[in-house]
Amino acid sequence: MSNPFTIPVIGEQKYSVLCADIIIENDKGEILIEKTGVGPMTDKWILSGGYVHVDDDNIQSAALRSVREEVGLDVELTHLVDVFGDPESKPAADTRFYAVQVLYVARPKAGSICQVPTATIKEYKWVKPGNILWTRMGFNHKKLVKRYLEKKRRGELMPAKRSFFSDHFGKEYLYEKNDYMHTIVMGIVLNENNEVLLAHRAQDPFKGHWDFPGGHMYVHESIEECLKREVMEELGVECEIGKLFQVYSDKGMSPRFARAMILYFITLKSEKFVKNIEMDDFKYFPLDQLPENLAYHTEGSLHDIKKYIEQK
């Protein structure tokens, strides 16, 4: 059994560490909290969750694994709440390193019950949401609960259901760098005809393929700072960041390393794109007439964008 509190090996800490946090809600509207028995928050109450392993099929499977390991519960993910990533945020997600948190909502599967204690959790309890705000919690988990309650009240929770690139699920996949999951932040740009902007890659991997603008997030920057920097580097223009769309992190989407692609809607301040060493062309495509040469197996995410627009 893996230990969710083991610090991932990140070389010289150049990149952030991805983790999944889960708000598990029962049919009474109560939320599951756990008292830890290991790590920096020993004897503190926390939400369920853990760090993503490079051999997980994706972040969702890491979330399900973490809940099962911690409290022996089988759950179904129902909604994506938000993604948290800011090295200056207080309280920190983890004081040992920069953690990017993907927050989901889940419900227990029929007949599944908590089985505690485990290797990492001493006890658990179901708590009414209002009472959690008066509970002393570890990490920044009280902040996560507040964000969940705010988004739930405003009807802004996103369905967890999405398209998957499942070719390598349940199989060993050896990346060129088999170390940890990288955080990638990308932008969805739609014009007045709901055509999507893609950029033509001038570098490997996927040289000659079309891709969303965006890229790697480093340890010194927030999600927003990363996306603004990457759009400037790849398109040569400034942007404003809108709502979160979805997170795609399926095994084998990149041959180089495990990656989580966090997708946001963005608005560009100019259409005067500048060719560069990363991108050598730019084009808007109708979502039903996409090019065949798409980078990083993004067909599923583009299908989901098309479906989202049709349902608006």
pLDDT by residue (tens digit) across 110-131?
A: 999 999 999 999 999 999 998 9
Helices (H) and strands (E) in the chain, counts: 5, 15
Structural domains present in the chain: 17-159 (3.90.79.10), 182-311 (3.90.79.10)
Closest CA to 101 of 120, 119, 80: 80
Residue 8 or residue 134, greater confidence: 134
What's the token pair of residue 172?
């060993």
Residue 7 pLDDT grade (very low, low, confident, very high; cuts 50, 70, 90): very low
- Per-residue model confidence (pLDDT) at position 202: 98
CA distance 262 to 144: 18
Alpha helices in 170-240 (DSSP H): 223-235
- Per-residue model confidence (pLDDT) at position 5: 41
- Per-residue model confidence (pLDDT) at position 13: 59
> Once rounded to an integer, what is the mean pLDDT over residues 147-172?
97
What's the token pair of residue 23?
């708000």
Alpha helices in the chain (DSSP H): 59-71, 129-132, 141-154, 223-235, 299-311
pLDDT by residue (tens digit) across 181-237?
A: 999 999 999 999 999 999 999 999 999 999 999 999 998 999 999 999 999 999 999
Which contiguous run of DSSP H or E holds residue 263?
strand 259-268
CA distance 284 to 134: 50
Q: Is the predicted pLDDT of residue 40 greater than 90, yes or no?
A: no
CA distance 86 to 104: 18
Percent of the chain with pLDDT over 90: 86
3-state secondary structure of 34: strand
Which contiguous run of DSSP H or E holds residue 20?
strand 17-24
Q: Is the dihedral of CA 94, 15, 210, 193 positive or negative?
A: positive
Residue 24 pLDDT grade (very low, low, confident, very high; cuts 50, 70, 90): very high
> Once rounded to an integer, what is the mean pLDDT over residues 239-244?
98
Specify the length of the chain in residues: 312
> Once rounded to an integer, what is the mean pLDDT over residues 246-251?
98
20 DSSP β-pair partners: 50, 102
CA distance 264 to 115: 38
CA distance 243 to 263: 9
CA distance 213 to 20: 25
105 DSSP β-pair partners: 23, 79
Residues 6+ apart with CB under 8 A from 70: 4, 34, 48, 50, 118, 120, 121
Residue 61 or residue 136, greater confidence: 61
